[in-house]
Amino acid sequence: MKDIAIFGAGGMGRETACLIDRLNKSGESWNFVGFFDDGLPVGQPISHYGKVLGGIDVLNAWPHDIALSIALGNPDLVFKIKNAIDNPRVSYPNLIDPSFEIVDPETFSIGVGNIILQHCMVSCGTSIGNFNLLNGGVSLRHDVVVGNYNCIMPEVRISGNVEIGDCNFLGVGSIVIQQIKIDNRVHLGAGGVMIRDPKNGYLYVGVPAKAVKPL
């Protein structure tokens, strides 16, 4: 069994621990060793799954090979943490729930470090980059391209030929219609419907979604 840990001991971290448990029950063999978190004391128990092992400094000094999942619901924090890790013993597996549906495996590609929770699906010609979160019930239709460090919350619907860049946040139940291009650091609020290409660095809310403030 290969050792694995989670960076982030909040709710998303606990959900990811549940995912690892589901994966082990489906035939994978991870040895979960605990959580890394800069904001909690070493040894603090996190649910029944494990304890806090330390922060980024402890992780960077970890003496053994270890797989790591960065389980945070903030894309900027995921980017920051990933780029602060310099330990060559750390690897970044994809953690993908067994319920994940791929309509056309031959035209699907995925990078590393992604977390895909229950009941997500991708259609034909889709691509997912690195360190993305698909947080349950997410649907990506044909020819969707997702970049890196994006947090896509439960029940998001992304229509065909949409391009999503890096460090974006799509809130619960939001919708992106076909052929929209979302570049970098765009936040779409819960239930919002994106019908035009947004500007970088803004929060959009409503139906149709409109920019309300810079991030």
pLDDT digits (tens, 9 = 90+) for 107-139: 999 999 999 999 999 999 999 999 999 999 999
Residues placed in the known binding site for substrate: 73
84 Cβ neighbours under 8 A, 6+ residues apart: 56, 60
CA–CA dist 166, 189 (Å, integer)? 17
Domains and CATH numbers, the chain: 2-92 (3.40.50), 96-214 (2.160.10.10)
Cβ atoms of 178 and 197 within 8 Å: the answer is no
Binding residues are 73
Q: Per the residue annotation, which of 48, 119, 142, 187 is the catalytic one?
A: 142
- Does the predicted model carry a pTM greater than 0.85? yes
Contacts 24+ apart (CB under 8 A), 130-133: 130/92, 131/70, 131/78, 131/79, 131/82, 131/92, 133/12, 133/71, 133/73, 133/78
142 is catalytic: yes
CA 38, 40, 45, 49 torsion-angle sign: negative
pLDDT value of residue 48: 93
Beta carbons of 134 and 151 less than 8 angstroms apart? no
CA distance 204 to 32: 38
Strand arrangement of the beta sheet that strand 121-122 belongs to: 101-102, 121-122, 139-140, 157-158, 175-176, 193-194
Span 137-168, pLDDT tens digits: 999 999 999 999 999 999 999 999 999 999 99
Residues of the chain scoring pLDDT < 50: none
According to the model, what pLDDT value does residue 175 have?
Answer: 99
Question: Quick one: pLDDT at residue 47?
Answer: 87
